[in-house]
A and B are shown apart, each in its own frame.
Chain A
Amino acid sequence: MIAYIVRRLLFLIPTLFAGVLLVFGIMHLAPGDPVLLLAGPEADPRIYDELRQQWGLDKPVYIQCLMYLGNLVRGDLGTSLVTGRPVIADIGAYLPATVELTIFALFLSVVVGVLLGVVSAVRPNTLLDHATRTVSLLGVATPVFWLGLLLIILFHLRLSWLPGGGRIGVNISPPRSITGSYLIDSLVTGNWAALGSSALHILMPGFVLAFAQIARVARITRASMLGIVGLDYVKAAKAKGLKESKVVSRYILRNAWIPILTMVGEVAGTLLGGAVVTEVVFSWPGMGRYAVDSIMALDYKAIVAFAIISTALYAFINLIVDVMYVWVDPRISYS
């Protein structure tokens, strides 16, 4: 098992390297010029050349790329052209917010999605089943950013029930940083004001990000369970007079987990992508918003770093999913 995990983590390295090459290559074939953008079209040519030299943009592309990879190995992702700080420091500051939002949405997708899926599989063709299926059709077709704005109009601007953006109220100081998650940190330190405020702030973005994924998880749960409901061992369990709740949780759901877990891995990737637009809509101070700001400035180092970190996160979540297969189904082993 440990050998398997190590092997998977090792495989990630060449993948990320190749990814860097790809984005780097395309970025340098593209016509945009970050120096021109920052210095302005009327800048003194000497200043322009100096800036190019300073950022190493005067060297051939392959040299730039090799230098970048060399620095990457040493954990140096370069300096942001916009903030002037090391990219790794910038991302370090924004990453916890993204991780908190994504994990919250993932949790919401799985818990609500599986619940809805189970209920509609147990009571097929009831009102709730039809409602779940309709919501899942609509959910997959609803743009995240649009839903976010509509909910802001309704719950923030019209009803004033929920805050319209940010991670925590402006007049409340964030909890002492332990994990980087405001929810967990304020809970651990007993900072109830911060806990209440950050919980209210994450509710809307978390739900918006999770909405389509709840639908996907519910759909796959329903399908996976319906495939098992008719099997003989389930009939036998029912015939023995076991309670329905026990049959559903211990006999059906246990064997329906594998396709659901596979879907959870996919959902994680979609959430990481969706987090970008969600962060923009809700002014959530995360990595995605940082990336969008970097795009406008053609700050390629920040963009490449963002893509790499997101991919590593995605790979990590998928690794956890694969490890969980073994836990869910003892017949699977990686040795």
Chain B
Amino acid sequence: MQGWRRQVRRIWRKPLLVVGILIVLGVLVMAVFPGQLAPYDPFKSNLAHRLEPPSKGHWFGTDPLGRDLLSRVIYGSRVSVITGFVVVFLAAAIGSFAGALAGFYGGALDQIVMRIVDVLIAFPYMILAMALAAALGPSLINTMIALSIVWVPRYARMMRGQVLQAMGSEYIESAKALGVGRLRILVRHLLPNCFEPVLIKGTLDVGTTIMYAAALGFIGLGAQPPSPEWGAMISQSRSYILYSWWYTTFPGFAILVACLGFNLIGDGIRDLVDPRTAKT
């Protein structure tokens, strides 16, 4: 209990981390309870009120179908948050698993896994994600799959390095000496001790993934209309930028804030764990 309280106090002393936590909490609440928070139905068009500027009735204005933009931005958080978490979870799980096995067993398995990783990392990631999402066909699920494939090799490489480093440590030596089975060493001793960097990278990657998913949505891959996805909303707003700045501005601002929140948390956790990076 004492240790837990000390952790909270340490977090409290990092204002940017606190800001990040508050932002992410806000985004999560929006994603979980959009129905309670959104003032209007995000899909209901009202042509009498098309492309209205922000007002008391519609804080973020309305879109060309008269739909309330604030409501659509709130519902859009659900799409982005789900994409961010699913992609990072899939990539971290598959990547860590492959990387851990490669590092632990070595030999041919290691060679095969790491050569695949080399090939995937040789592509600039937005371009690989684009090519894969295009290959799979435009849809939200396919975008998630494409982005996961892009992130997997980065986790695999990192986990492999961690496992190789930990294998030389004394507690593994002693476990081996005690006759603990190989699989048990991997699952019970190595993995828990190698997980911390994966967690930090994961938090930072949620923000980046939200950004990339929005970029894919913007070029027409990803969530399809009428689904309220932030990137797709900005893409649709392009035809109206001449007379409705709000249509472009607010969905993009949502991406910025959500992304910033996750980045602040990722940076903050990294500083807590490794105070040497704090001054950067």
Cα(A147)–Cα(B263), bound, Å: 19
CB distance from B259 to the nearest CB of A (A): 4
- The answer to whether A18 and B280 have CB atoms under 8 Å apart is no
CB B151 to nearest CB in A, in angstroms, measures 14
Chain B interface, DSSP helix/strand/loop, else mixed:
helix
Asked if B134 is at the interface (CB within 8 A of a chain A CB), the reply is: yes
Bound Cα distance A18, B131 (Å)? 14
B119: A residues at CB distance < 8 A = 15, 18-19, 22
Judge if B51 is at the interface, Cβ distance under 8 Å.
no
Question: Could you tell me which residues of chain A, from 135 to 162, have a CB within 8 Å of some CB in chain B?
Answer: 137-138, 140-147, 149-150, 152-153, 157
A311 within 8 A of B: yes
Does B137 interact with chain A (Cβ within 8 Å)?
Answer: yes
CA distance A168 to B127 in the complex (A): 26
Report if A272 contacts B (CB, 8 A). yes
B215 and A296 contact, CB distance less than 8 A: no
Cβ-neighbour of A269 out of B125, B135, B235 (below 8 A): B125
State whether the Cβ of B231 lies closer than 8 Å to any Cβ in chain A: yes
Q: B13 on the interface (CB 8 Å rule)? A: no
Residues A311 and B241 in contact, CB atoms below 8 Å apart: no
B193, chain A: closest CB distance, angstroms: 27
Bound together, the chains give a CA A304 to CA B214 distance in angstroms of: 22
- Min Cβ gap B122→A in Å is 5
Which B113-139 residues have a C-beta within 8 angstroms of A?
115-116, 118-120, 122-128, 130-132, 134-138
Q: Which residues of chain A are within 8 angstroms of B252 by Cβ–Cβ distance?
A: 143, 146-147, 149-150
Which of A24-32, A77-85, A89-97, A192-200 forms part of the interface with chain B?
Answer: A24-32
Are A277's CB and B215's CB within 8 A?
A: yes
Interface of A, secondary structure class, is: helix
Interface: A285 (CB within 8 A): no
CB neighbours of A138 from chain B (8 A): 256, 260
Contact of B280 among A140, A142, A219, A277 (CB under 8 A): A219
Contacts of B234 in A (CB 8 A): 143, 145-146, 149
CB-based nearest A residue for B129: A273
Q: Does B10 contact A (CB under 8 A)?
A: no
Query: Within A1-60, which residues are at the interface with B (CB < 8 Å)?
Result: 12, 15-16, 18-19, 22-23, 26-27, 30-32
B residues lining the A interface (CB < 8 Å)? 115-116, 118-120, 122-128, 130-132, 134-138, 207, 211, 214-215, 218-221, 231, 234-235, 237-238, 241-242, 245, 248-249, 251-252, 255-257, 259-260, 263-264, 279-280
Interchain CA distance A291-B214 in the complex, whole Å: 18
Once bound together, how far apart are the Cα atoms of A269 and B124, in whole Å? 5
Closest 4 CB pairs of A and B: A273-B126, A146-B252, A223-B280, A27-B135
- Beta-carbon contact of A276 and B264 below 8 Å: no
If A31-B137, A149-B238, A295-B130 touch, whether A273 touches B249 (CB-CB below 8 Å) is no
Contact B263 A280 (CB under 8 A): no
Chain A residues with CB below 8 A from B207, complex form: 141
Which of B116, B124, B248, B249 gathers most chain A CB within 10 Å? B124
In the complex, what's the smallest C-beta–C-beta distance from A270 to chain B, in angstroms?
7
Closest to A158 in B: B245
Min distance, Cβ B147 to any Cβ of chain A, angstroms? 12
Closest to B215 in A: A277
B123 contact set on A, CB distance < 8 A: 19, 307, 310-311, 314
Contact of B131 among A140, A269, A277, A307 (CB under 8 A): A307
The chain A residue sitting closest to B260, CB to CB, is A141
Known: A23-B132, A149-B238. A270 touches B220 (CB 8 A): no
User: In the assembled complex, how far is the CB of residue B256 from the closest CB belonging to chain A, in whole angstroms?
Assistant: 5
Instruction: List chain A residues, Cβ under 8 A from B120.
Output: 22
- Collect the chain A residues with CB atoms within 8 Å of residue B124's CB: 269-270, 272-273, 310-311, 314
Contact between B263 and A137 (Cβ–Cβ < 8 Å)? yes
A315 within 8 A of B: yes
Produce 1/0 per residue, A269-287, CB < 8 A to B: 1101110110011000000
23 A-B interface contacts by CB (under 8 A)? A15-B118, A15-B122, A16-B122, A19-B119, A22-B119, A137-B260, A140-B259, A141-B207, A143-B215, A143-B231, A143-B234, A143-B255, A149-B237, A150-B252, A157-B242, A269-B124, A273-B125, A273-B130, A276-B219, A277-B215, A281-B238, A295-B130, A304-B131
A226 at interface, CB cutoff 8 A: yes
Say yes or no: A296 contacts B259, CB within 8 Å.
no
Contact with B along A62-103 (1 / 0, CB 8 A): 000000000000000000000000000000000000000000
Complex partner residue of B241 from A16, A157, A296, CB under 8 angstroms: A157
Check A153–B127 contact: CB distance below 8 A: no
Given contacts A269-B125, A270-B124, A273-B127, contact A145 B218 (CB under 8 A): yes
Would B127 and A295 count as touching, CB distance under 8 A?
A: no
